[in-house]
Structure 1
């Protein structure tokens, strides 16, 4: 009886915050129990479902989330994963949402790698790992390794082998990321997530375009421009493109381009 009562109290604490009030100045997030405690109580799959729903709803209100909220979401996904290692949506969310806010994290990497063992029939798992290593860890060797693993899966899309070859060949960082997001866009059915991918894709395409203009400027003048306005003066740009995230693009000292929005 006490097991059911304890689990019920925790589930109610989560459910009470499933739809946060718009008037709240902050989001109260309950402390998460250890996986072994939940297993003793039973109903691991039920709690895994509740944690995923809670996290997904928090994501729908992403503009109000702070660093602490995103960290809670990562911890919640890790707990949900421990409770149900065959829950594919957890791998999807961990790979395609959390790293954009938190960057490279050991917990993200560990969760995704476990998917290779527990969901061997899903080519998407090594596919997600490939992008994680490519874009967030910046390790093209490991990225190509996992992409090759995905490409050899009998259910993988036909374009993956070509994408693998491009990863090995691409010298710039944004190019492979753009290829990946285009691939992910073709596979994504959720319209809300598709819109976020499209927005990210647009921003990366602008970054890639601006960096290509900078390289042309460097070849013509023998040095990097001091700022992006020099590209306009040189006739390489008509105007500085707008950041889809509302920030301002700027030139970094190493000749790459970034934005004040940090793509958030």
Structure 2
């Protein structure tokens, strides 16, 4: 019940920044992070704070460190929840600039119901991070399970393009 009350309080101030360090950037481990961390510690199976709260941290107040911690807790608590995994991948890709971690989360999301194109994006992120073997492996796995000849051809072309760029 305390977690519910803290959650209701946090929702009322999703855009509150207790210590702004630049335009639209809140200090790391902000008040909102502390509230979300308390909620998710008291009620680790309460899904919404991970899904909505972490997104508020990263997008609304730009508490990147706090968002990373909540997304990591959410991915651990809900390893089969593709929307949480997909949002965490966005966070790692655009805010943290960690393409390898973003790709890992996209693959995990894809294996749990996310749209199939997340595998292609994961392959590109692995490629951009210098992990060409992983990128090729992800795309090859898609080819092996795909039935659409047009998509198979596109995936094969993508693999060839990656190989030619690396040479």
TM-score by length of 1: 0.46
The structure with the largest helix share of the pair is: 2
* Consecutive unaligned residues in structure 1, runs of 5 or more: 174-264
Are the aligned partners of 2:100 and 2:126 in contact in 1 as well (CA < 8 Å)? no
Structure 2 counterpart of 1:72: 66
Are the aligned partners of 1:55 and 1:76 in contact in 2 as well (CA < 8 Å)? yes
1:159 match: secondary structure:
helix
2:79 match: secondary structure:
coil
Task: Determine if the alignment matches structure 1 residue 30 to structure 2 residue 36.
Answer: no
User: Does 1 or 2 have the higher relative contact order (CA < 8 Å, sep 6+)?
Assistant: 2
1:18 match: secondary structure:
coil
2:31 match: secondary structure:
coil
Are the aligned partners of 2:14 and 2:32 in contact in 1 as well (CA < 8 Å)? no
Change (3 A) 1:33 1:168: farther
Aligned partners of 1:161 and 1:121: how far apart in 2?
22
Superposed, 1:193-232 pairs within 5 Å as none
Are the aligned partners of 2:71 and 2:84 in contact in 1 as well (CA < 8 Å)? yes
1:75 match: secondary structure:
helix
Are the aligned partners of 1:133 and 1:140 in contact in 2 as well (CA < 8 Å)? yes
* Consecutive unaligned residues in structure 2, runs of 5 or more: 21-25
Change (3 A) 1:113 1:13: farther
Structure 2 counterpart of 1:144: 136
Structure 2 counterpart of 1:132: 125
CA RMSD across the alignment: 3.7
